[in-house]
Amino acid sequence: MMVRSGNPAVRLSRLISAVLLLLFGSSTAGWPQSAPPALGVQEPGPQVAPPTSTPAPPAREDNPGLINEMSKLFDKLPSILPPLKSPSETMNDLSRLAKPSSMVSGRVACPASSNGGPDCKQAADLLCQSKGYKEGKGLNADSAEKCSAKVLIPGRTRRPDDCRTDTFVTSALCQN
């Protein structure tokens, strides 16, 4: 009685192994041959001594080969690949992502955040609110360096506080 594994990849790899073993055989001699059946009375011929037992072939080193390595790979596939979702689960995910939204354009400066960088989420919200929406997510941003007029004085060395970089949200995806 054959016990089947529930994993189709394991069954496929074992089937491939069995077919290749049958096709190429093992390293031992071919199929055993038997004498043809006697059809009638025959004269006794010279007696041949029965062959002595043949020595067992030397034990081979464990060399798994390509087929066994492929079988190991098929055994590992379920843990490597993420589980597939059913069509209904995929549709539910897509419908959750596809909320009604609109893209708007404008130019709103990103205020400085507590960590010193620009807070462009707040600027995207302000851009969307100016167009009648509740909140938004920035799609495009632009940066510009703004300097005081002192940098234009000939011969004056530029100081670190003479210029600053301002960031602006120029388009956002808005939702109600």
Instruction: Give the pLDDT confidence score for residue 64 in this predicted structure.
Output: 66
Instruction: Give the pLDDT confidence score for residue 33 in this predicted structure.
Output: 55
Mean pLDDT, range 161-169, rounded to an integer = 92
Total structural domains in the chain? Answer: 2
Structure tokens at 102: 């609109």
Instruction: Give the pLDDT confidence score for residue 126 in this predicted structure.
Output: 95
- Specify if 120 maps to a domain: yes
Last residue of a domain, one of 57, 83, 109: 83
Mean pLDDT, range 15-38, rounded to an integer = 60
* The pTM of the whole model exceeds 0.85: no
Instruction: Give the pLDDT confidence score for residue 11 in this predicted structure.
Output: 74
Strands (E), the chain: 101-109, 135-147, 163-175
- Specify if 52 maps to a domain: no
Angle, CA of 131, 134 and 136, to the nearest 5°: 80
Say yes or no: 76 and 105 in one domain.
Answer: no
- Specify if 50 maps to a domain: no
Tell me whether strands 135-147 and 101-109 are parallel, antiparallel or unpaired.
unpaired
Say yes or no: 104 and 73 in one domain.
Answer: no
Say yes or no: 108 and 148 in one domain.
Answer: yes
Distance of CA 117 to the CA centre of its chain: 34
Mean pLDDT, range 151-156, rounded to an integer = 91
By the 10 Å C-beta count (0-12 exposed, 13-18 middle, 19+ buried), 82 is classed as exposed
CA-closest candidate to residue 19, choices 72, 78, 57, 71: 71
- Specify if 42 maps to a domain: no
pLDDT score of 1 more than 50: no
- Read off the pLDDT of residues 27-77 as tens digits, 9 standing for 90 and up: 555 555 555 555 555 566 566 666 666 666 666 566 667 888 888 877 877
CA-closest candidate to residue 144, choices 104, 107, 106, 103: 107
Q: Which domain holds residue 7?
A: 1-24+65-83
- Specify if 95 maps to a domain: no
The C-alpha atoms of residue 100 and residue 146 are separated, in whole angstroms, by 37
Amino acid (1-letter code) at residue 75: D
Say yes or no: 75 and 151 in one domain.
Answer: no
